[in-house]
């Protein structure tokens, strides 16, 4: 049986179907894709993981804090500093 998300992540920031391992994989994959130069958007991540855009944004801010930058527009997306 899957373990629920870690206690350090507030329950309102995760979908019920996401386990701690899935969250770790999501963040790891995001970091790897950004290092490779892929353009990642909050909308794309939210749709892929089955959560709302606002929930995904809150999850990213909670996990990365001041190290994440969101840019709007046609060429916008997510960047890590």
pTM above 0.75, yes or no: yes
- Hey, what's the torsion of the CAs at 32, 64, 61, 16, to 10 degrees? 70
Which pLDDT does position 10 carry in this prediction?
59
Which pLDDT does position 36 carry in this prediction?
94
From the number of C-beta atoms within 10 Å of its C-beta (0-12, 13-18, 19+), residue 36 rates as exposed
Tokens of 36: 């490779």
Q: Is the CA virtual torsion 7, 12, 17, 20 positive or negative? A: negative
CATH 3.30.420 fits 19-80, yes or no: no
How would you write the pLDDT of the chain (81 residues) with one tens digit per residue?
Answer: 444 455 455 555 556 677 888 888 889 999 999 999 999 999 999 998 888 999 899 999 999 999 999 999 888 899 998
Task: List the domain boundaries for the chain.
Answer: 19-80
Which pLDDT does position 70 carry in this prediction?
95
């Amino acid at each position: 049986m899957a373990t629920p998300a870690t206690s350090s992540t507030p329950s309102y920031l995760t979908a019920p179907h996401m386990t701690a391992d899935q969250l770790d994989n999501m963040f790891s994959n995001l970091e790897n894709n950004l290092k490779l130069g892929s353009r990642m958007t909050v909308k794309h991540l939210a749709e892929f993981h089955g959560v709302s855009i606002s929930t995904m944004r809150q999850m990213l801010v909670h996990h990365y804090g001041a190290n994440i930058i969101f840019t709007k527009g046609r060429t916008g997306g997510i960047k890590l500093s």
